[in-house]
A and B are shown apart, each in its own frame.
Chain A
Amino acid sequence: MKSSRLTYIALVLVAVVIIGMVGYFYFLRAPEAPPKVETPLEETPVTFKEIDVLKISQRADLSTIDVQVATDAPTLSVLGHVYETLFRVKFDETGTPTFVPHLVESYTKINDTLWEFRLKSGVKFHDGKPLTAHDVKASFERGPQVGSLPRILLGFIEEVQVVDNLTFRLVLKYPFGPMIAHLSHPSTAIIPAWVAERFPNAPIDSTAYIIGTGPYRFVEYKKGERTVLEVFADYWGRKPTVKRIEWVPIPDDSTRVSFLEAGTVDIVTHVPPQFVNLLKDKGFQVVQIPSVRVIYIGINVERIPDARVRQALNLAVDKEAIVKHILEGAGSVASAPIHPSVFGYSKQTPYQYDAAKAREAIRAAGWEGRELVFITPQGRYLKDREIAEAVKAYLEAVGLRVKVEVMEWAAYISRVTTQKDFDLFLLGWSTVTLDADYGLYSLFRSGAPFNRMQYSNAEVDRLLDAARAESDLAKRAQLYAEAQRLIWQDAPWIFLHYEDIIVAFKPKLVDIEIQPIERWILTYAMVREESR
């Protein structure tokens, strides 16, 4: 019996250890590391070291390997290191964009609808072939065939004329204000002509065809595990300081953050706000900047035709509270359908939260007690499901009934696009060209591809059409201001907020470029070292 008692003691010990561990974890929480005190002495020599391997974790894997097909930020961020565009966007500290020539050496306007461009010489594709005007022509002709984004972005081009090997002309359908902005979007990247011709109307089907002119070559892809890029030795521009970039997709927010904490990756993107302080306390660098993405709840105008009801929906939702509590400050309440940093933005009078007024309007319109079907994706946007739950509660507080359906992305997007059996849907839209045309035309023009609200206002249509063809900046801005006023008033959305981008990385990493268009450029990242 003695040995049985021993076993008993042993088991009790094990139990104590387990309980102790649970207690440790639960009651003590993490004994947080004391905040790092950095006291850079004046004489400490600082050196910057190049990086052999940089590991970054985003929240999604590549959705496609075709740069002209891709639409999502994670994929475009990866491919943005491989491909290059004619122009590129740079942001100053205030987030104001400027567009500078990139693959283009120089360009001149011949008349309103004819422009001539000259390419830089000595630019090589990863397969060793030089970049020529033929590649541009082929890319711009294939783009709209295979991709929704290039279809919008390059829709203004009537024809690409090759003048000589490095010179080409763009014949425009109409004078087009945001041309340069459009030509800096990664979806208008230049791919080799032979690849374009090989896949004229379908996405490329093997990573062997991922050939660009960018600083990095596409080296390896393992589905769901990682994507590896390596420096392209013959790159024409400044030599990258990072030799190899590994992209690890981790969809779950907490897991992604714990990978950074454990040192498995160097950078994590899309950090949820509740982790910000935690990471800062541990000495990680956390960058939080506003993005140009607006989050909205689209209202099916066919099913809710009464603008007063739609306005009431806007009044019923406390956007401030959502931003403050659910987003924990990682965003700002929307003051227009597009972000303030976008050209053409015009500030609107906010729909101030007023439940009583909303309830009154709902009752007056005879909508009290009606049930609305509200569909939402989850994990696509910052706190999307939580926001939907909160909105449901807000709308029910003003006398409506709401049936929330949380769906996984594939089912959701196909339902939003093809079926119209819902009243409300949550989506986001990034005005990545930083021009109002992109943020308004395809969303609010009658019959436009992403006008999923089925919204239609003849005056808005006229304004948007006119603004497209207007090359005078001031006049364009005025047209957009007027359009936004009407849209705001018609309220085909519940205008929610602009999302912030939060990226965290290891303490000594410097020169990581994070753009408000949800793009991160790691090419020139370095490690800051203080010797001694």
Chain B
Amino acid sequence: MKSWTYLKGLARIAYTNMRFLKALSGDVTTLIALSIVLGTFFAAFITTVLLYTEVVSESLYAGISLANRLQPPSLKHPLGTDHLGRDLLVRIIFGARIAILVILTSVTIAVVLGTTIGLLAGYIGGYVDLIVSRIVDALMSFPAVLLALAIVTVLGPGLESVIIAIGIAEAPIFARLSRGLVAVEKENLYVEAAKAIGASHIRILVKHILPNIAGPLLVQATFTSSSAILWEAALSFLGLGVQPPTPSWGLMMAEARAYMRVAPHAIVFPGLAIFLLVFSINTLGEKLRDLLDPRYRALMSKS
């Protein structure tokens, strides 16, 4: 039931904003961005299906061939090979799966965690709000990379830890945003009305307030998706990312770093993949932001 309400809220935003679709079709950059993002999703989907139906096995991207290491781009290996002789193109395609996985899971964690805290703080107000806001402020001004680093080290490196660390590190943004939105929203008449007819607090929050603030949260989630990818890369670079032989783009770059001088392709191409995906997501995010609720802009530049 609840999720249905969210979906309805989101759908309402998407459908009532016909301008959005119209704008999308008119803008070349956005079109390119959209196709890159969809392409990544598609690659992730296909590779997942292939792996699950066991049409291909893990060894396609993980199998090593030491004699073929660090080959420059050629017909056989369009993007060359890495330090263990694995085909870069194959690894980048399979890497899409990891990228999408990281995005979906870590952003979900961040949204759920952050929004819950923010909603409650904003709704309850008073001292709870004050304390939560202070903590969130502190967390946000603190170099989150160090926090994420500590989390990964405690949990032990691996994809799960990276996802959790990103989720936690990105949660404060959602807490701050939803807190601000709720604080404004709860003054509205419809909330008063719902209270008057005896709706419970949880019902008011979930059923009435949440759908109304879903737009800005969605925009933020878009931006967080792009930073999740950058996070993953940064953690891998610092040596605390996912475990080999996972074909994560961040890990690929981190591993290629040592061979940057003799085989620059091994670091250039995964870097480009990250850059293009992040850039595309951000472009779409900008577009979404421009088209959605103007209140959001006001809030982000002030709070």
Contacts and interface: CB of A to CB of B under 8 A. Distances in A.
Touch test A–B (CB under 8 Å): yes
A405 interface: yes
A42 B260 CA distance: 41
A385 B64 contact: no
Nearest to A272: B258
A389 B239 contact: no
A253 interface: yes
B118 to A, nearest CB: 33
Contacts of B258: 253-254, 272, 274
B261 A278 contact: yes
B66 to A, nearest CB: 4
Given A389-B64, A405-B156, A406-B244, A325 B69 contact: yes
Interface in B68-93: 69, 83-85
A235 to B, nearest CB: 40
A427 interface: no
Nearest to B158: A405
A321 interface: yes
A396 B261 CA distance: 31
A420 to B, nearest CB: 16
A322 B258 CA distance: 17
A378 B242 CA distance: 13
Nearest to B257: A254
Nearest to A320: B66
B62 interface: yes
A392 interface: yes
A99 interface: no
Given A274-B262, A411-B156, A393 B62 contact: yes
A439 to B, nearest CB: 29
A275 interface: yes
Interface residues of B, number: 29
Contacts of A396: 59
The interface centre, meaning the residue of B62, B261, B262, B264 with most chain A CB atoms within 10 A of its CB, is B261
A398 to B, nearest CB: 13
Interface string A24-39: 0110011000000000
A408 B84 contact: no
Interface residues of A, number: 34
Contacts of B268: 26
B261 A274 contact: yes
Interface string A363-404: 000000000000000110000011011101100100000001
Contacts of A388: 244
A326 interface: yes
Contacts of B157: 405-408
Nearest to A324: B66
Contact of A321 (B66, B158, B264): B66
B185 to A, nearest CB: 42
Given A26-B268, A406-B157, A389 B245 contact: yes
Interface string B45-75: 0000000000000010011101101000000
A423 B89 CA distance: 33
A389 B262 contact: no
Contacts of B245: 389, 392-393, 404
14 contacts: A254-B258, A254-B261, A321-B66, A324-B66, A326-B69, A389-B244, A389-B245, A390-B64, A392-B244, A393-B245, A404-B243, A404-B245, A405-B243, A406-B243
Given A386-B83, A407-B156, 18 more contacts: A25-B264, A254-B260, A254-B261, A257-B261, A272-B258, A274-B262, A326-B83, A326-B84, A379-B239, A385-B255, A388-B244, A389-B245, A404-B244, A405-B157, A406-B157, A407-B157, A408-B157, A408-B239
A-B complex: 5 closest residue pairs judged by Cβ atoms: A325-B66, A393-B64, A389-B244, A321-B66, A274-B262
